[in-house]
Homo-oligomer: A and B are copies of this chain.
Amino acid sequence: MTPSADRLTIGELAARSGLASSALRYYEELGLITSQRTAGGQRRYHRAMLRRLAFVRAAQRVGLSLDEAGQALARLPDDRAPTAAQWAPVARAWQRRIDAQIAELQLLRRKLGGCVGCGCLSLKTCALYNPDDTAAAHGPGARWLLGDTPPEPPARA
């Protein structure tokens, strides 16, 4: 081991991040994290990778794919904490995304509320049935994360 703190082995990084080594190799292959190699070819990770991994995990919880997370990560420094200026737009974009998700769930919840008493699911009247709402908003990807057109919180939902 002799962890030297900034040269974590893959096993150490796995233990600290809670991810499997195989997942870390996969992430590295996707470019989400980077490593140096020892003379013998083993990976050594800078502690800053823990931050990137935390970012990725948070991104997944927001519903981003690894690819999308990678695009967002590409705008942050690899080796040290982002500055407020770097981080703020990303965080704000995530908050908007989260807000949209919450709004959608609340809508669904209200619709269910309307159904609870009636056992309806009627073809004509049940709101669950005719979700002509903003559901499909999740579509294409995360271009918005890169600073373009953030998704408006569901208009009329």
Contact = CB atoms under 8 A, between A and B. Distances in A.
Interface of A: 47, 50-51, 54-55, 57-58, 61-62, 81-88, 91-92, 94-95, 98-99, 101-102, 104-106, 108-109, 112-113, 115-123, 126, 128-129, 131, 135
B117 A106 contact: no
A146 to B, nearest CB: 17
Q: Within the oligomer, what is the number of copies of this chain?
A: 2
Secondary structure at the A interface, as helix, strand, loop or mixed, is helix
A95 B123 contact: no
A58 to B, nearest CB: 5
Given A94-B112, A108-B98, A81 B128 contact: no
A47 to B, nearest CB: 7
A115 B98 contact: no
